[in-house]
Amino acid sequence: LNMSRSVVNISEHLSCPLGFGHYNAVDVCILETVVIVLLTFLIIAGNLTVIFVFHCAPLLHHYTTSYFIQTMAYADLFVGVSCLVPTLSLLHYSTGVHESLTCQVFGYIISVLKSVSMACLACISVDRYLAITKPLSYNQLVTPCRLRICIILIWIYSCLIFLPSFFGWGKPGYHGDIFEWCATSWLTNAYFTGFIVCLLYAPAAFVICFTYFHIFKICRQHTKEINDRRARFPTHEVDAAGETGHSPDRRYAMVLFRITSVFYVLWLPYIIYFLLESSRVLENPALSFLTTWLAISNSFCNCVIYSLSNSV
């Protein structure tokens, strides 16, 4: 009886966005807490593992994309650390100015970190495109200094693009509102959403689609040419050329393509709901919560794809 009373007392202080009614309030709050705590643990543990592997394997630094992959790992790690905020807020309900400030800062940080991941994926696709289309001049085009400058610009751009949300122009994109102030007082804005889509989501998606389309098209052409040469001149030299051709680049591109595909599969429902809510077409707390944390779960999925797709 005392335990049941404690659960009821805790539920009164929980801020749960999934409005399924008073009867299921406790179960919903417990479910939310379990989902958020589990994702937080997986994201932090997974990305710490990725960072540890890069630290202990210097050979991985020979790949230029390792700069972007490590940046994504740090960004995703910070996402996991930031997720501790809503986890604690489920058990420590706050009101007033502190809640609004916490909500704004948390939404801004999550949006910036995921923007960094999205921009890094676009840069990785451009890097692989240059590696395959310009193999002879690639080392002169892509240097460690330029890569570091690119990463710095990614962070600056991501910080600036969501900054208007602090001046009352819309919501940066965080839904699934654990904080009551976020759900009731901080509303999305159609113009700000369009601004984010035009300057972040759409350009990144276009660059990724363009580069990977041409990457696989070029790889297919090279594979066909190599097979034709093998059929016409079945010599040891041709076989050796075929073995050292573009197949490693193709395999590497496939790993990165899987990472990018999973990213957009998990983020597409969130982006669609973001657009619909901003246009006042749809407003559903359950969908808001599910799409938000489905998108945030991508921070852990990258670690799984690394391990399943590439033994190195």
Residue ranges of domains in the chain, CATH in brackets: 30-230+246-310 (1.20.1070.10)
Helix boundaries (H) for the chain: 2-13, 25-56, 65-82, 84-89, 97-133, 138-141, 144-161, 180-184, 190-196, 202-232, 236-243, 247-278, 285-296, 298-309
Distances (CA, A) of 85 to 61, 222, 268: 33, 50, 24
pLDDT attached to residue 90 = 62
pLDDT attached to residue 107 = 83
pLDDT attached to residue 241 = 45
CB atoms within 10 A of CB 8: 11
pLDDT attached to residue 85 = 74
Q: What tens digit of pLDDT does each residue of 5-40 get?
A: 444 444 444 445 544 444 455 666 777 778 888 888
* pTM for this prediction: 0.76
Q: Which two tokens stand for residue 67?
A: 């700069």
pLDDT attached to residue 152 = 95
Alpha carbon 44 to chain centroid, angstroms: 14
Nearest residue to 196 via CA among 278, 253, 259, 264: 278
Nearest residue to 304 via CA among 42, 34, 35: 42
Q: How far apart are CA 75 and CA 55, in angstroms?
A: 16
Which value, to the nearest 10 degrees, does the dihedral of the CA atoms of residues 56, 68, 45, 32 take? 180
Nearest residue to 82 via CA among 58, 61, 111: 111
Q: How far apart are CA 81 and CA 154, in angstroms?
A: 21
pLDDT attached to residue 247 = 57
| Rg (alpha carbons) of the chain, rounded to whole number | 23
Segments of the chain with pLDDT less than 70: 1-28, 87-97, 174-179, 234-253, 307-312
